[in-house]
Structure 1
């Protein structure tokens, strides 16, 4: 995927893992039905390197009844949302299937831009989906989207530097200090820039501390002891001399590159699964020693914030039955498996993680040309472990405003005053919920 959104905002482009597999690739591209006056189903989705192959396969299954057409949105999340919001607000009937960041479903559903999933469509969309990802497709106890892919961050490390990885943040900070004193790679890399990535880091810390930013119904600000403890920890890690000097400018790609460059001073990287494939090309020598484990916790196991994308059907679509059918195909178990292996986006359907078949079941498994989840996705067990006890970002119709305020108040992390910052967040977030004040 070519975007630099944050987990929930998708993943950075998954660099080539394997050659194209015949299982989905063999599907021939059908001649455009639209050119003959046939039925087109437009899917508005972020740039994803191999998504067209998934579409081609679903078009073959449609057998000429309709043609799914890929309408690529801008690479950046703000541009994607802005384009869809403007067109939906105008009642544009050209939009059939919408690719929504996991944080957008409440906003779009509340605006009545999404068709509810009911009956058999709902059952098919929910079948086998992990609880955390599924919750991002719901609003007010109704299903408004089908989960396409999810995402969680892992702790990546070099086992020649730290053979035994830390289990908690404070253990990681102490290890980083010791490594620095020994003149070894020591830095802790995470997304500290003033944007959604910093919000994701904070949300994970809050959830791992057992805290809450908002109430479960998303209607009031909580900012309890766990939220304050997360502020204390964020300040500590940013103030102890164990982060990269560019922390306040670090987004996912900068974090990735700082870990994989030759002679890197980084010992730990907190990032999405795409980095596994990226480092194979960027630094093959360090890739040999790359290991991964569960994201560090605070006083126990972590609760990691899920990202990802959902597929919704526009309330203004003139072809809703076909749009639902097409959306289900685009995020079917086989489609999710293909996208996981080829584009690095973790599945939402639990059974895909244990699918040992190669992409083309008719041919022998080949790690280079016909991989399975086992060979192409070795970190799948850790991802699944985190997803089974994951955290979600606050589900609210004003999430965009909350995110903007939170990233502003938390930046730079080294300047956080836990109690004072907590009060600033309480005030700013409450005003956002009440649609008061001016965004920073």
Structure 2
């Protein structure tokens, strides 16, 4: 599933653990602490292939604490399901976990991952918003490893020809998509509008860009019944009704939308930073003819949702001390640099976004930094999967013009209220 890939372009495996924590080996009668030893890291499929060399470097330096990589399907939903199946059973098959940022609250509330000591990890060197994705109920349950934020890609050649700048507001986006795109045989604007996690992301971004929210207090308070949410749904519904969001876009995930833009069929695209490298490739029809800016909002720059992955330790981890050392290695500046240069993934270390050499090779870094610093997590909830499904179902009906924005917000508030009262 590409939203996790680019929020991972190839989600990476990693591990994290409570410093000083030592488990006891039940197979040895609980007599001996077993803080160190071999580990198993589990992740969704590593599509970039850069991770094994990093782990081999670790294994060469730590022969008694070797890491075995377990790759689950590239689909985020399948990865989540397999992880949960093992965790619920109490299995120690997975020592350390690479989890999507949106799963942290659910896994923490269920007791599947261990809380962590903040001072064990260099959190003050990270981009500040990413740390919030790793917390639940005021405690740190994971450590950020890869971050992400949505960007607005635009056809620079088309806008330059018209003498206009990239849109900063929804009104400007709608006007340019409605008027300029048809002159060049292009669709106006697309995001990820198929009912799946990507649609939850797009809706959450629109709601926050308008100044609202969906949930507060780690999922215990429903806040979606607001003028901001109605404005967000109106923005999306108007795009379909007026034609500047193509009907085809209602079936787009990350890759379908990326291909539409890269093949020269769209004026504007909301997507993750991985698109920049793909759209710049030699076989891209828009190479050298596009740019990227922060997402627009109603009255100025909008708000992105944070993507990426966090590193967590299973509550049944066998060798937590080794895992603590591994996470220190994986979040070191040297390895984080390779996350970007070899994995094409946005790192969490703030200093790397100001490195002149990296900016020369990855021109979108300053824009991405601004987007990350103003970004927000997806709604936090111990029942996040249910929350996301409710958002998707309501948004699908709005964009299919089966419900008005007013009806949709009222319905979503009711459904989220019911979810928050369960469990």
TM-score, normalisation: structure 2: 0.87
Structure 1 match to 2:294: 294
| Residues 1:253 and 2:255 aligned together | yes
Contact 1:260 1:282 in 2 (8 A): no
Structure 2 match to 1:404: 389
Distance in 2 (CA, whole Å) between partners of 1:276 and 1:161 is 18
Distance in 2 (CA, whole Å) between partners of 1:217 and 1:396 is 5
Q: CA 1:66–1:270 in structure 2 vs 1: closer, same or farther (change >3 Å)?
A: same
| Residues 1:386 and 2:371 aligned together | yes
Structure 1 match to 2:38: 40
SS in 2 for 1:246: helix
**Equivalences for 1:192-341 in 2 at 5 Å?**
192-223=193-224, 224-261=226-263, 264-281=264-281, 283-341=283-341
**Equivalences for 1:348-387 in 2 at 5 Å?**
348-356=348-356, 372-387=357-372
Match of 1:134 among 131, 136, 146: 131
SS in 1 for 2:154: strand
Structure 2 match to 1:161: 158
Structure 2 match to 1:28: none
CA shift for structure 1 position 117: 1.3
SS in 2 for 1:431: helix
Structure 2 match to 1:29: none
Runs of 4+ in 1 over 4 A off after TM superposition: none
CA shift for structure 1 position 288: 1.2
| Residues 1:71 and 2:70 aligned together | yes
Q: CA 1:280–1:301 in structure 2 vs 1: closer, same or farther (change >3 Å)?
A: closer
Contact 1:252 1:271 in 2 (8 A): yes
CA shift for structure 1 position 221: 1.1
CA shift for structure 1 position 340: 1.6
Give CA deviations for 1:92-130 in whole Å, capped at 9, x if unaligned: 123211101101111111111212211642xx2413112
In structure 1, list runs of 5 or more residues that go unmatched.
Answer: 15-37, 357-371
CA shift for structure 1 position 56: 1.8
Distance in 2 (CA, whole Å) between partners of 1:325 and 1:161 is 50
Distance in 2 (CA, whole Å) between partners of 1:12 and 1:98 is 17
SS in 1 for 2:342: helix
CA shift for structure 1 position 211: 0.5
**Equivalences for 1:72-221 in 2 at 5 Å?**
72-118=71-117, 120-121=119-120, 124-163=121-160, 164-180=165-181, 182-221=183-222
Q: CA 1:6–1:316 in structure 2 vs 1: closer, same or farther (change >3 Å)?
A: closer
CA shift for structure 1 position 213: 1.1
Which protein has the bigger helix share? 2
Residues 184-193 or 279-288, more deviating: 279-288
Query: Size of the alignment, in residue pairs?
Result: 390
Distance in 1 (CA, whole Å) between partners of 2:218 and 2:139 is 14
SS in 2 for 1:5: helix
Q: CA 1:244–1:350 in structure 2 vs 1: closer, same or farther (change >3 Å)?
A: same
CA shift for structure 1 position 138: 0.6
CA shift for structure 1 position 180: 4.0
SS in 2 for 1:382: helix
CA shift for structure 1 position 73: 1.6
Distance in 1 (CA, whole Å) between partners of 2:306 and 2:156 is 26
Distance in 2 (CA, whole Å) between partners of 1:265 and 1:274 is 18
TM-score, normalisation: structure 1: 0.84
Distance in 1 (CA, whole Å) between partners of 2:206 and 2:340 is 26
CA shift for structure 1 position 284: 4.0
Give CA deviations for 1:167-216 in whole Å, capped at 9, x if unaligned: 11221110112114534535212111111111111101111111011123
Q: CA 1:277–1:90 in structure 2 vs 1: closer, same or farther (change >3 Å)?
A: same
Distance in 1 (CA, whole Å) between partners of 2:284 and 2:258 is 14
Distance in 2 (CA, whole Å) between partners of 1:272 and 1:10 is 7
Q: CA 1:243–1:111 in structure 2 vs 1: closer, same or farther (change >3 Å)?
A: same
CA shift for structure 1 position 141: 1.3
SS in 1 for 2:269: strand
RMSD, aligned α-carbons: 2.0
